[in-house]
Amino acid sequence: PGNERYYSVRLGAAEVFVIDSDEALRNATDMSAQKAWLETALKASTAAWQVVVFHHPPYSSSSTHGSSVAMRWPFASWGADLVLNGHDHTYERLSTGGLTYVVNGLGGAGRYAFGTPLAESQFRYNANWGALKLVSSATSLVATFVSLGGTVQDTFTIGTPPAVPGSFAK
């Protein structure tokens, strides 16, 4: 909304909503303003997919920072399809309330260890650095985490998986 700290951008079939969890966690008034903006923006989105991005993960099994419980906003009921975070230098995919959360802090800084896995945790990786690739279409959002060296460590699809070349529909 013109403040350059939280905003949305349309990228193909997805709309990405970026919020500032640093300021939200420091300032209750700012948190309320961001929540109100995000709820309104998500509900108004006409994109096929709504992806929310911010720094502090609501859910994380990392032994270093772990979960930022104050950031457990009702993203799913507002229309989000995926929540992406960093902060912990691990890769973890979690699911709760029908919504997928991904922590990806393996961009190059020192890697963190995992503590006791959260019940919501579906996949954890911290053996090497890597990147998450998202591909959106009108019917699916496909995410692939690739570690340094090109090895696919995790992949998941939200929506209808794309057809595999050479396969036949029944």
DSSP letters spanning 127-138: SS-EEEEEEE-S
Determine the 3-state secondary structure of 156 from DSSP: strand
Residues that are catalytic: 65
Burial class (CB in 10 A: 0-12, 13-18, 19+), 87: buried
Task: State pLDDT tens for residues 79-118.
Answer: 999 999 999 999 999 999 999 999 999 998 999 999 999 9
Q: Which helix (H) or strand (E) holds 34?
A: helix 28-44
pTM of the model: 0.93
DSSP tag of 4: S
* 114-169 pLDDT per residue, tens: 999 999 999 999 999 999 999 999 999 999 999 999 999 999 999 987 666 654 44
User: How many Cα neighbours within 13 Å face the side chain of 60?
Assistant: 31
> Facing residues of 99 across strands?
96
Q: First CA to last CA across the chain, in angstroms?
A: 47
**pLDDT level of residue 70 (50, 70, 90 thresholds):** very high
